Chains A and B, each alone.
Chain A
Amino acid sequence: DAKTTQPPSMDCAEGRAANLPCNHSTISGNEYVYWYRQIHSQGPQYIIHGLKNNETNEMASLIITEDRKSSTLILPHATLRDTAVYYCIALLTGTASKLTFGTGTRLQVTL
């Protein structure tokens, strides 16, 4: 699985969009980009995943660059409940595979 690089921390004002970047310059053509988050004292929570095209669901949008070397997770209207550690993970296949977590980005949403 390709290595991913994320900033260690970010701040975002409540109500604003939170844009979390992830670099995966060595990603291969059949590796998906997954995003999970972990709110304090809870288990990780799946957010979204994609291969090439941009994806959107009720939680977030995932924008993958055309060369697939980086991606951005967008929380369109961040709330205090979105304060968490966000993990970007590259997975070789789209089926059930073990997740290799890095250190993630700690997002702090403030009033």
Chain B
Amino acid sequence: EAGVAQSPRYKIIEKRQSVAFWCNPISGHATLYWYQQILGQGPKLLIQFQNNGVVDDSQLPKDRFSAERLKGVDSTLKIQPAKLEDSAVYLCASSPKYEQYFGPGTRLTVT
């Protein structure tokens, strides 16, 4: 069974630029999550989708972050414009019911 795929794996941008991350969850998993992990900390949820609907986006900085899940499968997370404090690993996870399966993450560096 293929795991959660994410791209790109690494991205370096300058502050005020835009960036987008892509996630392909495990086939059949209805729930998809985006987490942000700052160096030295545990992951923090940004947004949770159930199929293509948003379940929880309470911790998503909506003035600069946006996310969508088209047709209830793939998802993209966008940051526009990026700030220095957005430097982190962005993790995508999907879940069939109980456990979550994480992708390898995208490491974003904002300079």
List residues of A whose CB falls within 8 A of some B CB: 34, 36, 42-46, 49, 87, 94-96, 98-104
Contact = CB atoms under 8 A, between A and B. Distances in A.
A34 B100 CA distance: 11
Indicate the size class of the contact surface on chain B: 20 to 34
Main secondary structure on A side of the interface with B = loop
B50 to A, nearest CB: 8
22 contacts: A42-B104, A43-B93, A43-B103, A43-B104, A43-B105, A44-B43, A46-B99, A46-B100, A46-B101, A49-B98, A49-B99, A96-B96, A96-B97, A98-B33, A98-B48, A99-B43, A101-B42, A101-B43, A101-B44, A102-B42, A103-B41, A103-B42
B56 A98 contact: yes
